[in-house]
Amino acid sequence: MSDDHLYMTAEQAAERLAINLPTLYAYVSRKNIRSVKIEGSRKRRYWAADIERLAKGEQRSSPAQQPELGLGIQSSAITLLTDNGVYYRGISATELADQATVEEAAELIWQSPGAFSQALPVMPESTQVLLDLYEHMTVSEKAIALFPLVERANPRSFDLSPDAYARTGADVVRILAALLLGHGVPSAQPLHAFLCDGLKVDPALQDLIRRLLVLFIDHEFDHCTYSVRAAARTGVTPYYAAIAGLTTYQGRRTAYSRHQAASRLLAEICAAKDPTPAVLQYFSQNGEIPGFNHSTHKEADPRVANLMTALLTVFETDQEFQNLQKAAQVAHELVGKPPEFVLLASFVGRKCNLIGQELALAGIARAIGWIAHASEQCQLPVARQRANYTGKLPS
CA–CA separation, 318 and 321 (whole Å): 5
Task: Compute φ and ψ for 87, nearest 5 degrees.
Answer: -130, 125
Beta-carbon count within 10 A of 113 CB: 11
Task: Compute φ and ψ for 65, nearest 5 degrees.
Answer: -90, -15
Which among 109, 367, 149 has a CA at the least distance from the CA of 238? 367
Range list for CATH 1.10.230.10 in the chain: 256-351
3 state DSSP class of 44: strand
Domain 256-351 has CATH 1.10.230.10: yes
What are the angstrom distances between the C-alpha of 237 and each of 14, 25, 150?
Answer: 47, 43, 11
- Which residues are paired to 81 by β-bridges? 86
Range list for CATH 1.10.1660.10 in the chain: 1-60
Range list for CATH 1.10.580.10 in the chain: 95-253+361-378
Per-residue pLDDT of the chain (395 residues; tens, 9 = 90+): 556 778 889 899 889 898 888 888 888 877 778 888 888 888 899 988 888 888 887 655 444 444 444 434 578 999 998 877 899 999 999 999 999 999 999 999 999 999 999 999 999 999 999 999 999 999 999 999 999 999 999 999 999 999 999 999 999 999 999 999 998 899 999 999 999 999 999 999 999 999 999 999 999 888 899 999 999 999 999 999 999 999 999 888 777 778 888 999 999 999 999 999 999 999 998 888 999 977 777 767 899 999 999 999 999 999 999 999 999 999 999 999 899 999 999 999 999 999 999 999 999 999 999 999 999 999 988 877 777 778 876 75
Q: Are 7 and 33 in contact (CB under 8 A)?
A: no
CATH of 95-253+361-378, one of 2.40.50.140, 1.10.580.10, 3.40.50.300, 1.10.287.110: 1.10.580.10
CATH of 1-60, one of 3.20.20.210, 3.40.718.10, 2.60.120.10, 1.10.1660.10: 1.10.1660.10
